[in-house]
Amino acid sequence: MIRKIKGTMDILPDKTPLFRHIESVMRGEAARYGFGEIRTPMFENTELFERGVGDTTDVVQKEMYTFADRDENRRISLRPEGTAPVVRALLEHGCQSDPMPLKYYYIISCFRHEAPQAGRSREFFQFGTELFGSESAIADATVISLASSVFDRLGLRNIKLHLNSIGCAKCRPAYRDALKAHFGEHSGELCDTCHTRLEKNPLRLLDCKSPICSAIARRAPKTLDYLCDDCAAHFKTLTSALDAMGISYELDPAIVRGLDYYTRTVFEFIAEGIGAQSTVCGGGRYDGLVESLGGAPMSGIGFGMGLTRVILAMEQQGIADIDGEKPRIYLASLGERAQIKAAEITERLRREGIFAECDLVGRSLKAQMKYANKLGADYVLMLGDNEIDSGRAILRDMKNAAQSEVELLGFTLPENA
Ligand code: ATP
Ligand code: MG
């Protein structure tokens, strides 16, 4: 038997209602905040991610699914994230001349070759938002507020916002030097990857998952102490806006984010109690990204929220039982004539927009009643030869077992309770 690829998942009909529920909350909130849905291809030229995500990141160095295209001599990658493709698309479609800000959202699968575990898979689902063309810290607060309101609407509690600023190109050099000095003192202890990063991109060392590197990283200089005046003022406005909006946060110098393009604001929403992979949402500002992908300079801010981690948190809080749709009516039948009549009435009801079911496997009448109950049908209509001849049949309310006689031709169901 052929099995699915490690780190991927099948979502069967008993679980899709939960996914759909979460997606519809995400879509609803995105719409309320004025974000329009954007859809981009599942694969792109590898170079887009090398430039957009950063070629010293784990994502690009170790995790990307890259392959040679069949008919042209070029490398293609399955998207490991959604931001770079959105930037590519907006540049390709000339959206930079549209009125600012540009606000996009997407719900997509992403692909990363990581070690599969709870909350970490190789194909994963992400709700992402991107807001372009505003440098204002109010934009940062708006994007954070959108993520937070998704959690609220899903009924999730205890999702903590961790906030930091990693400064801009102006404050970076001094901070970079301080980091180099700090990690340089420990250069003998660093992992191989970090050893090379020390020269190329010391900021990445803060993000290393190896126990020794991360212990050294915990004692590293903090970005907030190295912000230039502009970045410090920006961060102050952000925290004031969050205070005014009633969104609580915790300053966390450990948040630096795994991708190269972030500037200033970085944040994560953490759900305690769902295991090691507790970051349900991560995001930040990426003011240099658009320019580095060939556009005119344009600031941006956004986040990615992992659907399976949201589900882990919902399960942990006992709010993950979402039922699929249940039939309004089941048409039970006895005998072949009745079976055809049941099919005819079922068809009429479906055309009227009602979820109706009838027997397709030849169950006994008793077994049909049991099955209708299992499906959760609100009503059952019982049909046999007598009912067809008289044109009247018994409609049973499955909730309270109340029965009433209805006309087969054109009967209607009571309004949904
Ligand atoms: P992490 O450090 O937790 O892997 P990241 O910094 O790599 O996160 P981002 O690229 O910012 O993650 O992606 C945004 C969100 O997507 C994460 O906060 C997480 O909820 C989810 N996510 C990322 N990678 C995976 C994965 N392999 N499996 C499931 N969800 C993921
Ligand atoms: Mg990761």
Which of 279, 295, 316 represents a domain boundary (last residue)?
Answer: 316
Ligand nearest to the CA of 258: 1
59 Cα to the center of ligand 2, angstroms: 7
Which of 293, 316, 339 represents a domain boundary (last residue)?
Answer: 316
Q: What pLDDT score was predicted for residue 348?
A: 96
Q: Tell me: do 353 and 269 sit in the same domain.
A: no
Range 205-228 burial, b when 16+ CB lie within 10 A, else e: bbbbeeeebeebbeebbebbebbe
Q: Tell me: do 95 and 27 sit in the same domain.
A: yes
Mutate to test the pocket of ligand 1, among 58, 63, 309, 310 (most ligand atoms within 8 A of CB): 309
306 lines ligand 1 (CB under 6 A): yes
Helix (H, G, I), strand (E, B) or coil at 130: strand
pLDDT band of 389, cuts 50, 70, 90: very high
Any idea what the CATH number is for the domain that residue 280 is in?
3.30.930.10
What is the atom index within ligand 1 of the atom nearest the CA of 310? 20
Mean pLDDT over 323-330 rounds to 97
pLDDT in tens, 158-212: 999 999 999 998 898 899 899 999 999 998 999 988 988 888 888 888 878 888 9
More confident residue, 214 or 94: 94
Ligand 1, atom 5, residue with closest C-alpha: 258
More confident residue, 56 or 118: 118
Any idea what the CATH number is for the domain that residue 374 is in?
3.40.50.800
Mean pLDDT over 211-221 rounds to 91
Ligand 1, atom 6, residue with closest C-alpha: 258
H or E element in which residue 342 lies: helix 336-351
Q: Is the distance from CB of 301 to CB of 123 less than 8 angstroms? A: no
Ligand 1, atom 26, residue with closest C-alpha: 120
Q: Is the distance from CB of 124 to CB of 14 less than 8 angstroms? A: no
Q: What pLDDT score was predicted for residue 221?
A: 94
Length of the chain: 417
Q: Tell me: do 94 and 115 sit in the same domain.
A: yes
What's the Rg (C-alpha) of the chain? 28
Q: Tell me: do 263 and 355 sit in the same domain.
A: no
Ligand 1, atom 29, residue with closest C-alpha: 120
DSSP conformational letter for 93: T
82 lines ligand 1 (CB under 6 A): no
Whole-angstrom Cα distance, residue 281 to residue 271? 9
Mean pLDDT over 309-329 rounds to 97
Q: Which domain holds residue 148?
A: 16-171+227-316
pLDDT in tens, 103-153: 999 999 999 999 999 999 999 999 999 999 999 999 999 999 999 999 999
Mean pLDDT over 80-95 rounds to 98
What is the atom index within ligand 1 of the atom nearest the CA of 280? 20
109 lines ligand 1 (CB under 6 A): no
Whole-angstrom Cα distance, residue 175 to residue 197? 15
Helix (H, G, I), strand (E, B) or coil at 325: coil
Phi, psi torsion values for 143, nearest 5 degrees: -65, -40
Q: Tell me: do 271 and 160 sit in the same domain.
A: yes
Mean predicted lDDT score pLDDT of the chain? 95
282 lines ligand 1 (CB under 6 A): yes
pTM for this entry: 0.93
Q: What pLDDT score was predicted for residue 55?
A: 85
Whole-angstrom Cα distance, residue 105 to residue 34? 10
Ligand 1, atom 10, residue with closest C-alpha: 81
Q: Is the distance from CB of 314 to CB of 119 less than 8 angstroms? A: no
Which of 282, 316, 350 represents a domain boundary (last residue)?
Answer: 316
56 Cα to the center of ligand 2, angstroms: 13
How many domains would you assign to the chain? 2
83 lines ligand 1 (CB under 6 A): no
Q: What pLDDT score was predicted for residue 258?
A: 65
pLDDT in tens, 6-19: 999 999 999 999 99
